[in-house]
Structure 1
Amino acid sequence: MSLDDTLREAFRREAQHLEGIDLPTYREFGKDPFEPIIGLGPSDAPVGFLGRDPGKQEVKWGEPFIGSGGQKVRQGLHLAMHGEPLPDFEASREVGRRVFWANTVPYKPTGNKAWSMSVKKRFQPLMAELLITHWQGREVITLGREAFLWFGINQPREVRQALDAFWRREDCFEAIHTTTLVLEDGRDATFELAPLPHPSPLNQTWFKRFPELLESRLEQLGVAQRLI
């Protein structure tokens, strides 16, 4: 599946007014800083992953979740599907083509600092349209707090409160949260959210447990059987 021209141009127009894009990194790899980094996969991909924002390796390859944290996710996918660890980098790219990937903002920020809420609000309508109209799947594994709470941006207060309450649950990395995402024109879709902690080595609290948590999520959602 490819991003249609109308939505791509909408992302590009918004990005041209975005301060904080890591321009030196884009220049280093000869990449267009206004091109959104989104890994669409098949339109009927049974599961999607939503993270915070791209990093340096994502800019280099033009693919989301390809850096160190993303490799943790791709390793888990490959293990679930094939019963063995990733043999090499190309295999990680290949396994990623079967699922849907997105970030709250599809541009690398300077210093890898999280985009502000105002920036996430600006891009939320475009990302929400992408999720609702360009992908048929409705099960999303979110990575980290910001990705999970993104589903409350520009949504009714009760939606945000429900997300906040769920995130505080002790079993939030085991249970499923159902939420409805509504576009400005009234179109909507209901998603099943399966949150996980962010797989960054900086997240010492959960980093070592991430592989087992991901394995449980993939088994819970029956991802391996649906991707083979």
Structure 2
Amino acid sequence: MSNLEELINAIQIEAQSADFPLDIPVYESAQKNPTKPILYYGNLKSNVCFFGRDLGRDEVIAGQPLIGASGTLVRQGFYQAIYKESTNDKDKLMAVCDRLLLTNTVPYKPPENKAYGVRVKRRFRPFIEQLLTIHWQGNHIITLGTEAFKWFEPYTDKETFNQFWADKDHRYQKSIQVTLNATDNQGNLVKKQTLISPLPHPSPLNQRYYRLFPGMLQARLANLEF
């Protein structure tokens, strides 16, 4: 069994250890085990990670993060940055995942798409830390939405972090350096310097930024190697 399989099993054991909000009907309709995490999709050797809040219905059905309406915008934007053309071809959009990693703050779907609270995020944080610090080889994360960005607050000076986010005119153009850390299976502390570049969440409900998101994503990707 690989270390990654051990990580996924450990998440499921934690999920089974105590109740927390889960959208059981969606998992049942998709014929999926609700305690089995949908941890990531893509290439663990990629340089770029897109980091969302949590899973939606489409993600549960497909068994991978960021594949619904918002995730499709992300994949389309990534394809555009690579090939300098747009596409709606599902196979082509799936193929771009060879160059990126997709994951979330919590690898489960909350009921009614309501954000998970601090306790649930804290409960699953050590596992996400292991994924990003130990298993993923990249060092540039693009966060999608406020919840996703603020997940990284513990990994840098709190005052610096808050000042960065308070700059509403520039926070979606700038990036902030953090030091991720995780404990491996032998109890050793592993650290990794990582650059965090926030973007607004590309949901159709986000009226302020939805139409702007494709251009904002292209501006981010123009400064990256992938």
Q: By the TM > 0.5 criterion, same fold? A: yes
Higher mean alpha-carbon deviation, 176-185 vs 126-135, is at 176-185
Moved over 4 A (4+): none
Superposition map of 1:1-228 within 5 A: 4-16=4-16, 17-153=18-154, 155=155, 159-169=157-167, 170-183=169-182, 185-222=188-225, 226=226
Write the letter of the residue equivalent to 1:43.
L
Q: Distance in 2 between matches of 1:52 and 1:192?
A: 18
Asked if structure 2 preserves the Cα contact closer than 8 Å seen for 1:125 and 1:183, the reply is yes
1:93-151 deviation digits (Å, cap 9, x = unpaired): 22123211110001000000000011101111110011001011010001111111101
Asked if structure 2 preserves the Cα contact closer than 8 Å seen for 1:3 and 1:40, the reply is no
Asked if structure 1 preserves the Cα contact closer than 8 Å seen for 2:134 and 2:190, the reply is no
Asked if structure 1 preserves the Cα contact closer than 8 Å seen for 2:199 and 2:216, the reply is yes
Write the letter of the residue equivalent to 2:37.
P
Q: Distance in 1 between matches of 2:33 and 2:3?
A: 16
Asked if structure 1 preserves the Cα contact closer than 8 Å seen for 2:144 and 2:201, the reply is yes
Query: Number of residues paired by the alignment?
Result: 219
CA shift, 1:40, in A, is 4.0
Asked if structure 2 preserves the Cα contact closer than 8 Å seen for 1:109 and 1:115, the reply is yes
Q: Distance in 1 between matches of 2:78 and 2:141?
A: 14
The alignment partner of 2:214 has SS state of helix
Which segments of 5 or more consecutive residues in structure 1 lack a partner in the other structure? none
Which segments of 5 or more consecutive residues in structure 2 lack a partner in the other structure? none
Write the letter of the residue equivalent to 2:172.
F
Q: Distance in 2 between matches of 1:96 and 1:48?
A: 10
TM-score for both structures, normalised by structure 1: 0.90
Asked if structure 1 preserves the Cα contact closer than 8 Å seen for 2:43 and 2:97, the reply is no
The structure where strand makes up a greater share of residues is: 2
Asked if structure 1 preserves the Cα contact closer than 8 Å seen for 2:54 and 2:115, the reply is yes
Write the letter of the residue equivalent to 2:175.
I
TM-score for both structures, normalised by structure 2: 0.91
The alignment partner of 2:148 has SS state of helix
Asked if structure 2 preserves the Cα contact closer than 8 Å seen for 1:139 and 1:192, the reply is yes
The alignment partner of 1:120 has SS state of helix
Q: Distance in 2 between matches of 1:141 and 1:165?
A: 18
Asked if structure 2 preserves the Cα contact closer than 8 Å seen for 1:149 and 1:160, the reply is no
The alignment partner of 1:49 has SS state of strand
Aligned CA RMSD, in angstroms, stands at 1.6
1:159-180 deviation digits (Å, cap 9, x = unpaired): 3332222111121111110011
The alignment partner of 1:146 has SS state of helix
Asked if structure 2 preserves the Cα contact closer than 8 Å seen for 1:49 and 1:140, the reply is yes
Higher mean alpha-carbon deviation, 27-36 vs 39-48, is at 39-48
Asked if structure 1 preserves the Cα contact closer than 8 Å seen for 2:134 and 2:182, the reply is no
